[in-house]
Structure 1
Amino acid sequence: MFNSSLRPGRLAFPFALKSAAALSHPSLAFSLHAAASKVSLDLDSFVRTSLADMYVKLGFLDCALKVFDETPDSHRAGNVLLWNVVLNGLCRDGDVERARELFDVMPERSVASWNSLVHGLLKRGDLDGAVELFEGMPERNVVSWTTMVAGLSRNGDNQRAVWMFDRMLENEVRGNEFTVAAALSACARMGALESGLRVHEYALANGFRENGAVGTALVDMYSKCGKIECASEVFDRMERRDVLTWTAMIMGWAIHGHWRKAFQCFEDMKCARVKPDDGVFLAVLMACVHSGKVEKGLELFDSMRFDYQIEPTMKHYTCIVDLFGRAGRLQEALEFMKAMPVEPDFVLWGALFSACRAHKNIEMAELAAENLLRLKPSHSGGYVFLSNMYSSARRWDDAEKVRITMKDQSVGKSPGWSYIEIRGQTHCFYAGDRSHPQSNEIHNKLEGLVLRAKEQGYEPDRECVLHDIEDEDKEDSLECHSEKLALAFGLISTADGEEIRIVKNLKVCGDCHSLMKVASLICGREIVLRDNKRFHHFNSGVCSCGDYW
């Protein structure tokens, strides 16, 4: 247009500015800004807003603020879009304090103004501040509700996220596919199947098709709630599957221990001409980890690097170390770590340590623990790992020294907790918990269950207890594990023969694993336990993991 000696009008510049932002072309952006000034259109409200928006999208927040600050008051006062662009830019940049200051002096606020600040507070992790602001909104739209549901879930407050979704429905606001996907994600993270089913029913009743974000979220929800076959049924019904959908399905098969189906799904994906990314390879490597397929895992790792030119992340390296470690090939795991092009992080050393503990290699465990404490001296995990190791080896003095060091440095141990959902209500138990209203009944049920289990040959694994205490006290300590309390509560709260589903934040210990197997036999129940590594389906005295976890 310039080359044709034509003068661009006020409607032409916004499209050009938007294109410059989409192309991530800073020099073009600056040229367009200069051109707008040259033809005296830079103060036009439409052009001015587009300039600020372009700079925000390019990451030049200072330039956007300069455009805003240099806008004459007479032009700025009535341009709520310009205020919103800058407000959104500050929130995206994490400067919530300045965003709040700007919000407080806005001459006029739209719903988008409130939504931006709510999003900024959630992004910073200020959940109470976000909820307070949300409750004060004069009006809300579907974006407002979706922002809250998704933001609460991302910050780990999944129960409140689902509650917020339910409130949205009570207010007769129709969610969009992002709202539904966010609610399903919250259900998945909690393992709340009944809530997930309710969201699924809402989606079907309101015409949401099982495709795109909703379909992928459904696959993920059913997988993480222990219903892998339901996840597979949704997956098979989907008309369109992107790489995220395939990843969710492969990971679902992997964490449930169905390695053959995970591998077949991976092959089907390639046949469908969907190019695998790093997330897909992580999922299929997890299938190898949980099945002990070391050589297959190494083959896939090499294929990722050499056939697809995908650079491994720390998560991929951790999978390989875990793969070697679980198989007892500890020296190979250590050699692999030494050959890595990146420095091993805390999680990777933790994977090696867990393997050392399982295979009782104290010397290598001490090396791993030394690096754990070097990387995160204030993190309880390294100390607890080492104390566990010494306790398992009956080196009580060494274990006590570690405990004293923890106390001296004021390092606290993260508590274990377990969730169980009963009739749509989630109940949380902590290790040693007696806060539940039915606590006495729960502990009585658990004591009776342990006695019946012993009659079937169950012997408490006292090596799981960290202190040098008497055997009777050790058994009392073991009975306080959160997943056992959740199991007992499930047994007294559900009908005979009903499936019990439990979610735990830590890896299940050997003793709890043994009791769950026996409990499934003597109670005639299927017990589904999701720990931080995988699913365990206990049925008729057997676990789906084959005792390899």
Structure 2
Amino acid sequence: MRAVSLLSEAKTATAKTTISRATVLYAQSSSETHANGGFHPSENLYIPLVHACRTTQQLKQIHAQLFVHNLSQSSRVITQLISTCSMFKSMEYALLIFRHFHDPNSFVFNSLIRGLCESSQFENSIGHFILMLRLNVQPDRLTFPFVLKSVASLVADGFGGLLHAQTIKYGLDLDSFVRISLVDMYVKLCSLDFALQLFDETPERNKLESILLWNILINGCCRAGDLRKARELFDAMPDRNTGSWNTMVNGFVKQGELEQARTFFDRMPGKNVISWTTMISGLSEKGYHEQALDLFYRMLGEGVRPNDLTIASTLSACAKIGALEAGVRIHEYVSRHGFRLNQTVGTALVDMYAKCGKIERASQVFNETVEKGLLTWSAMVSGWAIHGCSKQALQCFNAMKSAGIYPDEVAFLAVLTACSHSGLVYPGRSIFNSMRDDYFIEPNVKHYTCMVDLYGRAGQLEEALSFIRSMPIEPDFVIWGALFCACRAHKNIKMAELASERLLQLEPRHPGSYVFLSNIYAGVGRWEDVERVRITMKNRGIEKPPGWSYIEVAGQVHSFVAGDKDHECAGEIYAKLEEISASARAQGYIPNTESVLHNIEEEEKEDALGSHSEKLALAYGLISTPLGMALRIVKNLRVCGDCHSMMKYASELSQREIILRDIKRFHHFKEGMCSCGDYW
């Protein structure tokens, strides 16, 4: 740290010394005149000084010297000052310099328009272009690209055509720099027909310009979802570069065409880090997490260094399937290869550890992260929430606000989830109200669902129903589903029937609607109605999605579905399950057959319960890992009451900690107890 400080001091001292020398040189040459064009020689002294600046403060010192020596109206120096301001993101000072310049030319305007555009002040950039025209300053080939980029960023359709006309007026529409920017603008404005027309009318260019133009148009077709046209253009390209291949791979990924994306990826003659990252993130986002991990390891094997986004995408895959061992190895790679714990990498690690059941490690990484942004804080609040640590979640949420970071919709959802999992009705209601009252954030359907869940879990069913009826938005399937789950948990059949009716009205083909209704009838023993609902589902071709569970053993992720007998260790798995079940019964375990909906004999119900995916994952973990080792299981649905009960017995019998993550939260089973306190 001291070395960095000394280096910074040295750079500052150098810049100050250079400025001082410039003043001396100015004094020595104040009476001289430049032989060509009458420029004062001091202009040439100040320009390199501007380029040597490291801070806005140093720029201000130079600007002051310009006033002292009557050079404040030198367009050459002012142009460089404004350009350097934009590099430091000091556009307010750049605008101040511009306002005090009496007769701006195209160089000064171009410098300002570019700086405003690159600082995302797009409206201001366009506004100064209009001012340029009003002052009769003629734009050139360096003006239009940044104005066109600003128009595209604002999606200002009407202004795009006017700008195109201006390029024709000034004879710049065929300039390669301007032409490429025009095509790019039309692509981003979703005016693909205009982009294609411009492309077809473009004269021959050099190889580099030609490839860039083709790539922009192919990307436009991909963005518009026209993969056929994109493929047609790609096949017709006279020359391609890595960017051409990356554009096609990304296009297929975005449209969910992963097989085509993988085909193009495998055919690529030269893959760069963008190629690998695009494919890895695409696989992870579409649910192919194991393939994403395999591809990451292959990338490392081929000697390609990942970037921050590659690391984040791979850690996301680990988080989604609970692959802790893989996540730890990636963390070790990050540490060995000098990656900074910035917002991207730090947030991804916090999220991975939290979702893999290591919440204390997530907290440690959070504290080590240098650049904590809103996403980092939200990931930590969410991590505490899904582990049922409501106190820590609320403390983290308040610390975030104290650090001057305003919460957004995601952060509020995370802290409301923490309240819901712990029955904190009053704090949850207060936080929900503060969204609109204190932060002017309009709650969305997820926040309303969380509040219904909060009231429902706490047994305040009438309050939950009243809350739904008072909502300013129309309650959807998920909101009524939250109420139904609460009704079922608290045995309120009448209100559950009301919720189920609403569910069927909203989503007549959603399998959940029928499962919810079957649950009601099964709960009161109306088996004929259960069978009628099941027949209706079958006749309409509606199937309940299967539950699956993951468990990571020796770095390999194993997946199971209910009743799964395809695993190579299936015989040992079922034998272990029978052993666990027998031992649990001896300790007082009674299978909770209410979770089975069919009117079948109790013995058959127990058999159906015994093959739930999380139990299969548990049995495999017990037979394939050392004694005493914690087991981590991930399930895509909410754990049923019977499996929850079985996990408690299994943790006591095996003397192991069992960490189960379902779709709602984490359950840490240890010595026959669960961290949720059976409040789930």
Match of 1:427 among 539, 549, 558: 558
Match of 2:579 among 441, 448, 453: 448
Q: Corresponding residue for 1:534?
A: 665
In structure 1, C-alpha distance between the alignment counterparts of 2:163 and 2:530, rounded to whole Å = 67
Q: Corresponding residue for 1:216?
A: 347
> Which deviates the most, 58-67 or 456-465?
58-67
In structure 2, C-alpha distance between the alignment counterparts of 1:214 and 1:95, rounded to whole Å = 34
Post-superposition shift, 1:373? 2.0
Alignment of 1:322-401 (within 5 A): 322-401=453-532
Post-superposition shift, 1:107? 1.8
Q: Corresponding residue for 2:251?
A: 120
> Which deviates the most, 174-183 or 360-369?
360-369
In structure 1, C-alpha distance between the alignment counterparts of 2:336 and 2:592, rounded to whole Å = 49
Match of 2:380 among 243, 246, 249: 249
SS in 1 for 2:558: strand
Q: Is the 8 A contact 2:211 2:241 kept in 1?
A: yes
TM-score (norm 1): 0.97
Post-superposition shift, 1:44? 1.5
Match of 1:17 among 128, 145, 148: 148
Q: Is the 8 A contact 1:392 1:464 kept in 2?
A: no
Note the alpha carbon deviations across 1:198-256, whole angstroms, 9 max, x for none. 11111111111112110000000000000000100000111221111111000000000
In structure 1, C-alpha distance between the alignment counterparts of 2:198 and 2:137, rounded to whole Å = 26
> Which deviates the most, 105-114 or 265-274?
105-114
In structure 2, C-alpha distance between the alignment counterparts of 1:106 and 1:154, rounded to whole Å = 30
Match of 2:214 among 83, 89, 98: 83
Q: Percent identity?
A: 59
Note the alpha carbon deviations across 1:80-128, whole angstroms, 9 max, x for none. 1111111112212222222122212122222111111111111111111
Q: Is the 8 A contact 2:341 2:371 kept in 1?
A: no
Q: Corresponding residue for 1:292?
A: 423
Note the alpha carbon deviations across 1:370-426, whole angstroms, 9 max, x for none. 222222222211111211222122221211111111111121111111000001111
Q: Does 1:142 align with 2:270?
A: no
In structure 1, C-alpha distance between the alignment counterparts of 2:260 and 2:156, rounded to whole Å = 36
Post-superposition shift, 1:68? 2.0
Post-superposition shift, 1:55? 2.6
In structure 1, C-alpha distance between the alignment counterparts of 2:394 and 2:597, rounded to whole Å = 39
In structure 2, C-alpha distance between the alignment counterparts of 1:187 and 1:77, rounded to whole Å = 39
Q: Is the 8 A contact 1:45 1:79 kept in 2?
A: no
SS in 1 for 2:559: strand
Q: Corresponding residue for 1:263?
A: 394
> Which deviates the most, 105-114 or 240-249?
105-114
Post-superposition shift, 1:74? 6.4
In structure 2, C-alpha distance between the alignment counterparts of 1:74 and 1:172, rounded to whole Å = 35
Alignment of 1:500-511 (within 5 A): 500-511=631-642
Counterpart amino acid of residue 173 in structure 1: V
Q: Is the 8 A contact 1:52 1:86 kept in 2?
A: yes
> Which deviates the most, 17-26 or 235-244?
17-26
Tell me, which stretches of 5 or more residues in structure 1 are unaligned? none
> Which deviates the most, 109-118 or 504-513?
109-118
In structure 1, C-alpha distance between the alignment counterparts of 2:528 and 2:679, rounded to whole Å = 31
In structure 2, C-alpha distance between the alignment counterparts of 1:439 and 1:211, rounded to whole Å = 44
Q: Corresponding residue for 2:112?
A: none
Aligned residues: 549
Counterpart amino acid of residue 603 in structure 2: E
In structure 1, C-alpha distance between the alignment counterparts of 2:421 and 2:477, rounded to whole Å = 21
Note the alpha carbon deviations across 1:260-305, whole angstroms, 9 max, x for none. 0000001100100000111110000000110011111111110001
> Which deviates the most, 122-131 or 263-272?
122-131
In structure 2, C-alpha distance between the alignment counterparts of 1:342 and 1:356, rounded to whole Å = 22
In structure 1, C-alpha distance between the alignment counterparts of 2:208 and 2:424, rounded to whole Å = 65
TM-score (norm 2): 0.79
Match of 1:514 among 645, 658, 669: 645
Q: Corresponding residue for 1:316?
A: 447
Note the alpha carbon deviations across 1:115-158, whole angstroms, 9 max, x for none. 11111111111111111111011111100000001111111111
Distance 1:77-1:498 versus aligned 2 partners, 3 A rule = closer
Q: Corresponding residue for 2:310?
A: 179
In structure 1, C-alpha distance between the alignment counterparts of 2:203 and 2:498, rounded to whole Å = 64
Counterpart amino acid of residue 479 in structure 1: G
In structure 2, C-alpha distance between the alignment counterparts of 1:303 and 1:5, rounded to whole Å = 52
Match of 1:32 among 149, 152, 163: 163
Counterpart amino acid of residue 461 in structure 2: L
In structure 1, C-alpha distance between the alignment counterparts of 2:529 and 2:436, rounded to whole Å = 43
Q: Does 1:203 align with 2:360?
A: no
Counterpart amino acid of residue 482 in structure 1: S
Counterpart amino acid of residue 101 in structure 1: E
Q: Is the 8 A contact 1:500 1:525 kept in 2?
A: yes
In structure 1, C-alpha distance between the alignment counterparts of 2:465 and 2:203, rounded to whole Å = 64
Counterpart amino acid of residue 136 in structure 1: R
In structure 2, C-alpha distance between the alignment counterparts of 1:59 and 1:179, rounded to whole Å = 29
Post-superposition shift, 1:13? 2.4
Post-superposition shift, 1:19? 3.3
Post-superposition shift, 1:25? 4.0
Counterpart amino acid of residue 604 in structure 2: D
Counterpart amino acid of residue 279 in structure 1: V
Q: Is the 8 A contact 1:460 1:511 kept in 2?
A: yes
Counterpart amino acid of residue 56 in structure 1: V
Match of 2:180 among 26, 30, 49: 49
In structure 2, C-alpha distance between the alignment counterparts of 1:140 and 1:111, rounded to whole Å = 7
Q: Is the 8 A contact 1:325 1:356 kept in 2?
A: yes
Q: Is the 8 A contact 1:77 1:107 kept in 2?
A: no
Coordinate RMSD, CA, aligned: 1.6
Post-superposition shift, 1:444? 0.3
In structure 2, C-alpha distance between the alignment counterparts of 1:270 and 1:545, rounded to whole Å = 28
Q: Does 1:544 align with 2:671?
A: no
Q: Is the 8 A contact 2:176 2:209 kept in 1?
A: no
In structure 1, C-alpha distance between the alignment counterparts of 2:158 and 2:534, rounded to whole Å = 59
Q: Is the 8 A contact 1:45 1:75 kept in 2?
A: no
Q: Is the 8 A contact 1:422 1:493 kept in 2?
A: yes
Match of 2:542 among 372, 392, 411: 411
Post-superposition shift, 1:357? 1.3
In structure 2, C-alpha distance between the alignment counterparts of 1:74 and 1:49, rounded to whole Å = 11
Counterpart amino acid of residue 229 in structure 2: R
Q: Is the 8 A contact 2:207 2:239 kept in 1?
A: no
In structure 1, C-alpha distance between the alignment counterparts of 2:154 and 2:255, rounded to whole Å = 28
In structure 2, C-alpha distance between the alignment counterparts of 1:478 and 1:491, rounded to whole Å = 19
In structure 2, C-alpha distance between the alignment counterparts of 1:373 and 1:97, rounded to whole Å = 39
Match of 1:192 among 320, 323, 327: 323
> Which deviates the most, 6-15 or 369-378?
6-15
